[in-house]
Amino acid sequence: MTHKEIRNCIEEDIPFELFLSDGRSFEVPHRDYIFCPPRSTTIIIAQSDEDGDIINHKIPLLMVTGVSSKSKEIA
């Protein structure tokens, strides 16, 4: 996926899930849980572990193979 495609997912401000080429996936419940620096080839996703500690995952964009999200309903 491209930097622009990830930024579009973040800007939609709805929860989404990123899928990686190694089989892992990451839930992004809110835009505050992901950081996609301009002109960067990596993204950072924050997650809580069982103890409530925050784990930051630095992921190369080349490993992101897909995104799954629900679209916003139009009223």
pLDDT by residue (tens digit) across 40-60? 899 999 998 889 899 999 999
**Looking at this protein, which amino acid is placed at residue 6?**
I
Residue 49: alpha-carbon gap to chain centroid: 17
- Structure confidence at residue 3 (pLDDT): 86
Instruction: Give me the architecture of the 3-69 domain, per CATH.
Output: Roll (2.30)
**Could you tell me the residue ranges of all domains in the chain?**
3-69
In sequence order, what are the residues at sequence separation of 6 or more whose Cβ sits closer than 8 angstroms to the Cβ of residue 38?
none
Q: Which two tokens stand for residue 1?
A: 């996926």
Give the pLDDT confidence score for residue 2 in this predicted structure. Answer: 86
pLDDT above 80: residue 71: no
Residue given tokens 């401000």 in the structure block: 13
Per-residue pLDDT tens over the stretch 3-26: 888 998 899 888 999 999 999 999
